Amino acid sequence: MQTFINPPRSEWAALTERNIPDDPAVDEAVGAIIAEVRAKGDTALREMALKFDRCNVGALEVSEAEIAEGCARVSDEVKAAIGLAKENISKFHAAQMPGEVDVATLPGVRCLQRPVAIDRVGLYIPGGQAPLFSTVLMLACPAKIAGCREVILCTPQSGDRPIAPEILYAASVCGIDRIYRVGGAQAIAAMALGTETIGRVDKIFGPGNRYVTKAKQKLSSVVAIDMPAGPSEVLVMADSSADATFVAADLLSQAEHGRDSQAILVCDSEETARKVDAEVSRLMTCLSRTESVEGSLSHSRLIVFTDNDDMMDFVNAYAPEHLIISMRDAWALASKVRAAGSVFIGNYSPESAGDYASGTNHTLPTAAWARSYSGVNLDSFMRKITYQELTREGLGLLAPTIVAMAEAEGLDAHALAVKVRIAEGQKS
Strands 120-124 and 203-205: parallel
The yes-or-no answer on residue 47 being catalytic is no
Residue type at 349 in one-letter notation: S
- 166, 279, 321, 351: the active-site residue: 321
Whether 299 is catalytic: no
Query: Of the residues 322, 393, 407, 414, which is catalytic?
Result: 322
- Residues in CB range of 105: below 8 A, 6 or more apart: 111
- CB atoms < 10 A from the CB of 336, how many? 12
Distance (Å, whole) CA 387 – CA 116: 13
Q: Which residues are marked as active site?
A: 321-322
